[in-house]
Amino acid sequence: MTSSSRANRPITGLSSDWARTVSRVCVPPIGKNRFERDGSLTRNVKPETRNFVRYWLAAILWTAVVLVASTDPFSAEHTGKILGFVLSSVFGSIDPARFAFIHFLVRKSAHVTEYAILALLFFRAWRGDHLHHWRFAWARQAWAICIAVAATDEFHQSFVPSRGSSLWDVALDAAGAAAVLAIVWLHWKWIGAPASDAAPAKQTALG
């Protein structure tokens, strides 16, 4: 008996329900992925859990990254050594005053960048499934969270001997967050997406 005839031979000794189950698993329909074929993989996931993983988890993890960056390993002394090694390897000897200015710009740019990302992630979390929509409440809540994280960050740094606390850094962080939220608003205006005037449905246990 050839291999093809064995493959086409009907399954005997099994119930019809079990035979259909084996056939569905072993011979999946063409053009459908696993999630499309078996809705039970997503049917049992609560909407709150799905939305938390999809929208809130990234924002919470990035918040943890921001707070870790306020510890001693990310102090000016340590980042200065790394930046000095990189610049000296590329450009050779650098004037100390010029290096100090470059180092200052790099660290302040890091402030703006990390809080811009944080604001974008929290705006996305508050927005949830309301894609291509804009509500001022989402931006306001995202900005408020960024300010709270920035204040907590600077408060923590006041207890780290190698770090310093500054209200100017909080203002810089808030500016970075506000800048990216303004860019989101301009993008929304540019593509002409509809506003979401009605209060959005609850997306997660947090929202």
Q: Is residue 204 part of a domain?
A: no
Q: Is residue 147 part of a domain?
A: yes
Instruction: Decide if 180 contacts 116 (C-beta within 8 A).
Output: yes
pLDDT of residue 46: 76
pLDDT of residue 17: 57
pLDDT of residue 195: 55
Domains contained in the chain, number: 1
Q: Return the amino acid letter for 156.
A: H
* SS3 state of residue 50: helix
pLDDT of residue 36: 46
- pTM as predicted: 0.68
Q: Is residue 38 part of a domain?
A: no
- How many Å apart are CA 113 and CA 119, to the nearest integer? 10
* Segments in the chain below pLDDT 50: 3-4, 6-7, 11, 14, 18, 22-23, 25-32, 34-42, 197-207
The tokens of 14 are what?
Answer: 């099994």
Q: Is 163 left (phi over 0), alpha (psi -120 to 50) or beta?
A: beta
Q: Is residue 132 part of a domain?
A: yes
CA within 13 Å, CB half, 179 = 14
Q: Is residue 29 part of a domain?
A: no
Q: Is residue 99 part of a domain?
A: yes
Q: Is residue 18 part of a domain?
A: no
Q: Is residue 171 part of a domain?
A: yes
Q: What residue numbers bound the domain in which 120 lies?
A: 55-191
pLDDT tens digits, 3-20 = 445 445 554 554 555 455
pLDDT of residue 204: 41
pLDDT of residue 20: 56
The tokens of 43 are what?
Answer: 């049917």
pLDDT of residue 9: 52
Instruction: Decide if 37 contacts 28 (C-beta within 8 A).
Output: yes
Burial of 152 by CB count in 10 Å (0-12 exposed, 13-18 middle, 19+ buried)? Answer: middle
pLDDT of residue 196: 53
pLDDT of residue 25: 44
